[in-house]
Amino acid sequence: MTAKVPLNLYDLTRLELTELITGWDFSPVHAARLWRYLYWECVGSLADMTELPAKVRTRLQAETSVGVLPIALETDSSDGFTRKYLLSLDDAERIETVLMRFTGRVTACISSQVGCAMGCVFCATGQMGYTRHLTTGEIVAQAVHVQRVLRSQDGTRLRNIVLMGMGEPLHNYDAVLKAVDILTDGNGLSLGADHITLSTVGVVPGILRLATEKKAIRLAVSLHAATQAGRAALVPAARKWQLDELMAACRTYSETTGRRIFYEWTLIEGENDSEQHARDVGNLLRGLPAQVNLIPLNPTTGYDGAPTRSEAAKRFQKILADEFGMPSTVRQRRGIDIAAGCGQLAIATQ
């Protein structure tokens, strides 16, 4: 007979947790205390939740678990602001999570899948391929892990999350959106929805579905090319969701939600960083509430391209601003020496 898998408490919303506890004929007060232990105090063991009655802890220990992800490896960048964690899952798979410190804020870059099925040619996660989706609890546990680290160091609060780690968030839609609900719960980690950024390679059905959600999270869409042929060469998923279909979905999203989209453009020297490429981006996004995030290519072993030079990035920005009135930023490079930058996360290299 197969042993029953304990219920991961990080899989539950606050309402679901309350229903679990009251369904056992315990007071909802104990559910509130348990939730506080999980998300305010980031306690990682039921045995350490000593303010819960013994009978409640006994039942929890028999049927549930706190889904803490053990650290297999942690690496600090020479930049002094970035730490990467290799975290172990129950089935022996592993994922990467990154803690990044900026002036006045801390950001966690978290994963949504083991690997990725989208196959972007310059992305280390795409190069390693897809293994499986993460559960809601495995996504939530990464944010709790970072908050636990911060509490133990200096009491800093986690303010921002970017779903830009391993995986395509909209390929794992239900688990990701439930994780967002848990992470934004005002009685928990209490992250502002507008402090959570979800990055997609352009999964059109997911973008359209997200447009109907009443969640103020930020949406980032990876473009990297302004023509169908150019995009398909870099982003194989573009062959399924073509550029005109993607832009129509983006337009629907902005019109429905009233929110702008952050369009990501990985700057590859000689590939997509010319002045004409900048004008192509401006024309493609003309009339849309948009901001362009320019990301100098980060090195991976599976792609030979080189990052654009800073002068080219500045020219790109100037054209967007002067000719199209379009705001843009150049992504601050962090953790490149430990393969913690955008597009560098992968397990095969460990």
As a whole number of Å, the end-to-end CA separation of the chain is 36
Query: DSSP labels for 162-218?
Result: EE-SSS-GGGGHHHHHHHHHHHT-TTTT---GGGEEEEES--HHHHHHHHTS----E
342 catalytic? Reply is yes
Among the listed residues 42, 96, 116, 250, the single catalytic one is 96
Distances 69 to 48, 132, 148, 270, 289 between C-alpha atoms, Å: 17, 16, 12, 41, 38
The answer to whether the CB of 125 falls within 8 A of the CB of 166 is yes
Give dist(CA 124, CA 131) in Å, integer.
14
Among the listed residues 116, 123, 250, 342, the single catalytic one is 342
3-class state of residue 58 by DSSP: helix
Give dist(CA 153, CA 40) in Å, integer.
15
96 catalytic? Reply is yes
The answer to whether the CB of 13 falls within 8 A of the CB of 180 is no
Residues annotated as part of the active site:
96, 342
